[in-house]
Amino acid sequence: MHIEPGVVDAAKITLSYATAAAAFGLTAFMARQDARADAHRGGWAALAARSLLTTLAVFCFFEVFPHAPVGVSEVHLILGSTLLLLFGAGATAIGLAAGLLAQGLLFAPADLPQYGMNVTTLLVPLYAIARIAQRVIPARTAYVDIGYRQALALSLTYQGGIVLWVAFWALYGHGVGADQLAEIGRFGTAYLAVVLLEPLVDLAVLWGAKTLAARTRGQWFTARLHAAA
């Protein structure tokens, strides 16, 4: 999902500053909601602890997990829905933004000018799945008890959102053309593998969290992991 240097030139890149600002606004909103909901379990301090875990996880996803250039971008296994189910939307949003920035600063400085585009691509779909989760997961259901269809809905929304944003940036930068559309199609098709894999990862991780309930009920994980809303 990385937007490569040159996809959007300097004359057009200003738009990414505005979209990133909006994405950070959504992050602040999700973080505030999570801290308030978790006030009895540590509030902002617990959110900070979970954000540290998500930052480390995202950094690992980008640097350790396999990824490949396909079409207009790269295909990554980001596991946004997995992080949301374990740590909550606020901590996941902070981790995505901070992990992406750390990866750019330490290993890929050439990606830093594209940070606004890349962080928008990650955070806006995350907000979408946070909203979708409220609709498809009943309030009486703990996250460890969700099924495949619910996990698939989250993954399809998140990865689909990433594909749409990447397509937007590619078309915004280079315009509409047959070759460009073909490259976007290749990228979108490749992400189908992620959509199919991520729900299985979600369910496996949630099964592990349920099995190790004594260790996963603390402040390092979202309260919804084991409890109804």
Dump pLDDT digits (tens) for 5-45.
777 887 789 999 999 999 999 999 999 999 998 888 889 99
For residue 136 the two structure tokens come to 């498809």
Nearest CA-CA partner of 51 in 101, 99, 95, 108: 95
Instruction: Tell me the pLDDT tens digit for each residue of 166-186.
Output: 999 989 987 787 888 888 888
Instruction: State the DSSP H helix or E strand holding residue 69, giving kind and residue range, or none if neither.
Output: strand 68-70
3-class DSSP assignment, residue 1: coil
Residue type, 32: R
Domain ranges of the chain: 14-225
> What 3-state DSSP class applies to 206?
helix
Q: Which residues of the chain, if any, have pLDDT below 50?
A: none
The tokens describing 8, both together, are 């959007």
SS3 200: helix
What integer pLDDT is reported at residue 1 of this predicted model? 67
* pLDDT score for 223: 92
DSSP string, 164-199: HHHHHHHHHHH---HHHHHHHHHHHHHHHHHHHHHH
Domain 14-225 fold is Arp2/3 complex 21 kDa subunit ARPC3 (1.10.1760)
Dist. CA 164–CA 147, nearest whole Å: 26
How far is residue 210 from each of residues 34, 101, 145, 215, measured CA to CA in Å?
21, 32, 8, 9
Burial level of 167, CB count in 10 A (0-12/13-18/19+)?
A: buried
- Is 159 within 8 Å of 198 (Cβ atoms)? yes
pTM: 0.94
DSSP 73: E
CA distance 60 to 48: 18
Residue 148 has a CB neighbour count (10 Å cut-off) of 11
